Amino acid sequence: MELKIVSIRDDFIELEVLNEDPSILDSLAEILEKIEGVEYSGIIIEHPLTNKTILRIRTNKEKICARDALVSAVELLSSIANELVEKVKQF
């Protein structure tokens, strides 16, 4: 995975991710939407042939900064994935 920070402020982050399945970022955006203070999160698939996906996050900086929201969402997604792995191993 190649990750490029396009823009970062207290209330906004834009990331470009190359050569990664967009569904991972879509799941991350969905988790972000559930975090209090996140006003918008979403992905843009630039073009299927470029393998570039853009993730944008906008927050109310009075409630949570964009970086903290992203870190929380990544940690939760990682926890969900780890739980899934453990359940699959039990089969």
Q: CB 42: neighbour CB atoms within 10 A?
A: 15
The per-residue pLDDT for range 64-78, each reduced to its tens digit, is 999 999 999 999 999
Domain assignment of residue 40, given as a range: 2-89
CATH number of the domain to which 8 belongs? 3.30.1360.10
Q: Residue 48 above 90 pLDDT?
A: no
Q: What pTM does this model have?
A: 0.91
Cβ 15 vs Cβ 24: under 8 Å? no
pLDDT of the residue at 49: 87
27: helix, coil or strand?
Answer: helix
Question: Could you give the number of structural domains in the chain?
Answer: 1
The per-residue pLDDT for range 1-25, each reduced to its tens digit, is 899 999 999 999 999 999 999 999 9
